[in-house]
Structure 1
Amino acid sequence: VAVIAMIVGGLAVLIAGLPTDSGVKASFSNWFALDGGVLPHGLLQQSADGQWTGLLMALVVVMFSFGGTELIGITAGETEDPRRTIPRATNGIIWRILVFYIGALGVIMAVVPWNTIDGTTSPFVQIFDSVGVHAAAGILNFVCLTAVMSVYNSGLYANSRMLYSLARQGNAPEILGKLNFHGVPVVGVLASAAITALAVVVVFLWPDFAFNYLMSIATIAGVINWSMIMVTEIHFRRRVAAGDGPGELAGFTGDEALGRIHFKLPFARVMPYVVLAFLAFVVVLMCFSSSYRVAVIAGVVWLAILLTAYQVTQTRKTVRP
């Protein structure tokens, strides 16, 4: 509601020509006419202090911001009608991004020119101030608090379910697979909450370190997650085409089998490879930043640990009498 109100208020400022605090007339021409136009820092360039800036470097932050959308898939196992609700929720994400990210930013950049945003005042607050809502700071703080609680709730849910699945597979301690009376993996929930408490301590003691490095670790984790999703999609389609599909797909082969998939990935023959190439490009961009470069190294080490653990596990299964 707050974001939509901001968009409506911003449009009112643009249409009515109301004055703003920036000293620059509110106009959609501000997208292109200020300090270098639409790409003032170019696609990729190095600043005087050695930092890399530009549109391409922003993709790294975007990758972090949109990380977590894949968590919808985890809810399928506890959804009453996944065939109907999961596609609807997935497609709904696209509209939310268009409205709450692209739409909001479009209005912000028209009303509050980007070269007047210094980080001390939220551009959302500036827009509300422009239309006379001077209590905007308090309102938006409350909105941000509820948003953070929502993010944490989804993370807690997803973490506990993933730990439960790992335990059932034999890839995590067995206790994490225990369910309480309500069917909730309560040990997984408590374990996730304990890690959160540790993160809070880290943020309190080393705020700058925590922001830069925890965000970069979350970004490389998102890259790994989406890479695995795309690799899984490729193998899934191969098995379905070979007649090894699950449920109602069993017994059909080739294009007939692929055509019976209920919720298809658009351009599925090439899209996984396009996504993998994009994710590889994001990793390359991360190497240009010192704070993100550490996460790339950590990601490689983490993957090596996982692959080693997997090989050890498979070897034990093979030699077990």
Structure 2
Amino acid sequence: MAQHELKRDLKNRHVQLIAIGGTIGTGLFLGSGKAIQLAGPSIILAYLIVGIALFFVMRALGELLLSNAGYQSFNDFATDYIGPWAGYVTGWTYWFCWIMTAMADIIAVGVYVQYWFEIPQWIPAILVLVILLGLNLLTVKLFGELEFWFALIKVITILALIVIGVILLVIGFKTDAGVVSIRNLWAYGGLFPNGIAGFLLAFQMVVFAFVGIELVGVSAAETANPQKNIPSAINKIPFRILFFYVGALIIILSINPWQQLTSSSSPFVQVFSLVGIPVAAGIINFVVLTSAASAGNSGMFSTSRILFNLSRHHQGPASFAKLSKNHVPSNALITSAVVVSIGALLSKLIPEQAFSIVTTVSAICFIWVWSIILISHIRYQKTRPDLRAKSTFKAPLTPFINYLVLALFAAILVIMLFSEATRIALFMTPLWFILLFILYRFRKRQSRV
């Protein structure tokens, strides 16, 4: 018997940990090394700024999703409040966002495996992709369980790093780099050792570190009690940002002066190696590997649900709307996995540049999606004051904060023009949007015939 509806099998603990998993990923565990090299200790401020901005995006998202029980993703309210073109472009762009993010994650898996084995990056990348596809084809409850345990590992790791770091700070532990001290944050060139330019250029990788924060919204259609679970998950985001990002980075930069961290491997692994615990460094490498697999798992989940939703709205092939007997959009899952496998090809052809290219494209596309959420919320306030008045989860400081965050996103895109590492991807990404607008016009014309 054909299945037509997604199953609401995600419980509160799943949603809470999916939210944590969305805010802790490859961008923090691997990408922060590159960001630290650019900004030095001021990277902490960059994470704080972007994190606060995205909290307001999430509050806007939460209010929009809860204003209409029929909303399952961004393209639903984008269609209602901006127009059908916005729903079409945003839906497909969000799919593309997660495709690029999943590519970055499987590339990262290849990097982490090289800590132990000298094998080409693309081999473990393909292997983990096949495993994740197989697991996601089973049930959404299994996805929730996987994310629960993956995220729990991340939480325990960062908690252990912070506890050990505090102990080392208290006892004044000495490493090959010197004494562990909070003064290391400003003792090597100050908080802005590479000036304001270095600080600004780090924002691309910081933005990428937060991709997936909105995944709690995508899971709304499969959440048992969205009116309770979604606000709970969103309201805990500020604490998670302060603890997992700011807290972890303060400890890392107190143990190891910023200029001694490299961009080619995880700062978390480097810190434990420096402290002289090689076994712990290996364990942490395993943890960050599972983190990349977790983020890739989120990518598989979200891309398939986006294709399912697009198909249900007649914006994609009808086959993507078909569910398996386990209530899983299997056709959409397999299609997404095939496209993600291009990441493994990139890691074979351009191993040095692959991660930087896909993370930049991902960051740009996520900025589009987050901006559409804010613009939709502005339109929602203006056109549906009745829903705004009844809302039990009102976004604060709107619409002023919406415009302020949109200005920040615009500034980040401009900053990308000034870095060779991000400029190519910035010029390439508009081709995706041009293609989508052409396809939208074509589909619209076909529907009139």
Q: TM-score, normalised by structure 2?
A: 0.62
Separation in 2 of the partners of 1:75 and 1:176?
17
Q: 1:222 to 1:122 in 2, by over 3 A?
A: closer
Matched with 1:268 is 398
Q: Per-residue deviation at 1:168?
A: 1.1
* 1:298 matches 2:442: no
1:22 alignment counterpart: 177
Shift of 1:159: 0.2
Match of 1:93 in 2: 237
Q: Please state if 1:33 is matched with 2:187.
A: yes
Q: 1:261 and 1:133, CA in 2 relative to 1: closer, same or farther beyond 3 A?
A: same
The alpha-carbon distance between structure 1 residues 288 and 201, as it changes in their structure 2 partners (threshold 3 A), is: same
Superposition misfits of 4+ residues, deviation over 6 angstroms = none
Percent identical among aligned pairs is 36
Point out the more displaced range, 6-15 or 109-118.
109-118
Do the aligned partners of residues 166 and 100 (structure 1) sit closer, same or farther apart at CA in structure 2, a change above 3 Å counting? same
Residue 29 of structure 1 aligns to a residue whose secondary structure is helix
Q: Secondary structure at the match of 2:236?
A: helix
Higher RCO (CA-CA < 8 Å; seq separation 6+): 2
1:112, 1:123 within 8 Å by CA — same for their partners in 2? no
Larger-gyration structure (1/2): 1
Distance 1:121 1:296 in 2: 25
Cα–Cα, structure 1 residues 121 and 173, in superposed 2: closer, same or farther, change >3 Å? Answer: closer
After superposition, the C-alpha distances for 1:22-59 in whole angstroms (9 at most, x for unaligned) are 02x22212212222x11011111xxxxxxxxx101111
Question: Which residue does the alignment assign to 2:409?
Answer: 279
Cα-to-partner distance string for 1:206-259 (whole Å, 9 max, x where unaligned): 212312211211111111111211122122222321x4xxxxx3xxxxxxxx23
Tell me how far 1:205 sits from its aligned partner.
Answer: 2.5
Aligned counterpart, 1:288: 418
Paired with 1:229 and 1:137, the residues of 2 have a C-alpha distance of 40
Deviates more, 1:1-10 or 1:124-133: 124-133
Q: Distance in 2 between matches of 1:120 and 1:303?
A: 31
Is 1:6 matched with 2:150? no
| CA distance in 1 between partners of 2:432 and 2:319 (Å) | 23
RMSD of equivalent CA atoms: 1.9
Aligned to 2:226: 82
The 3 A distance-change label for structure 1 pair 184 and 108 is same
More helix by percentage: 2
Q: Which residue of 1 aligns with 2:196?
A: 43
Q: CA deviation at 1:76?
A: 0.5
TM-aligned CA deviation for residue 10 of structure 1: 0.9
Deviations 1:183-222 (A, max 9, x none): 1111011111111222212212321231221121111111
Secondary structure of 2:441 counterpart: helix
Q: Deviations over 1:90-135 (max 9, x none)?
A: 2233322211211011011112111222457754345435666331
Alignment match, 1:310 = 440
The 1:14/1:42 distance shift into structure 2, 3 A limit, reads same
* Aligned residue among 197, 201, 207 for 1:57: 201
> Do 1:42 and 1:55's aligned partners in 2 also have CA atoms closer than 8 Å?
yes
Write out aligned runs for 1:1-321 (5 A): 1-23=156-178, 25-35=179-189, 37-44=190-197, 54-119=198-263, 122-125=266-269, 127-128=271-272, 133-241=277-385, 243=386, 249=387, 258-317=388-447, 319-320=448-449
**Is there any run of 5+ residues in structure 2 with no aligned partner, and where?**
1-155
Closer/same/farther in 2, CA of residues 182 and 152 from structure 1, 3 Å limit: same
Q: For 2:271 and 2:285, how far apart are their aligned partners in 1?
A: 15
* Residues 270 and 149 (structure 1), Cα distance of their counterparts in 2 relative to 1, 3 Å cut: same
Alignment: residue pair count: 294
CA distance in 2, matches of 1:120, 1:201: 19
Confirm or deny: 8 A CA contact 1:9 1:128 kept in the other structure.
no
TM-score, normalised to structure 1's length?
0.85
Query: 1:192, 1:283 → 2: CA distance?
Result: 27
The 2-side partners of 1:164 and 1:122 are apart by 35
Deviation at 1:19, TM superposition (A): 1.4
What runs of 5+ residues in structure 1 fail to find an aligned partner?
45-53, 244-248, 250-257
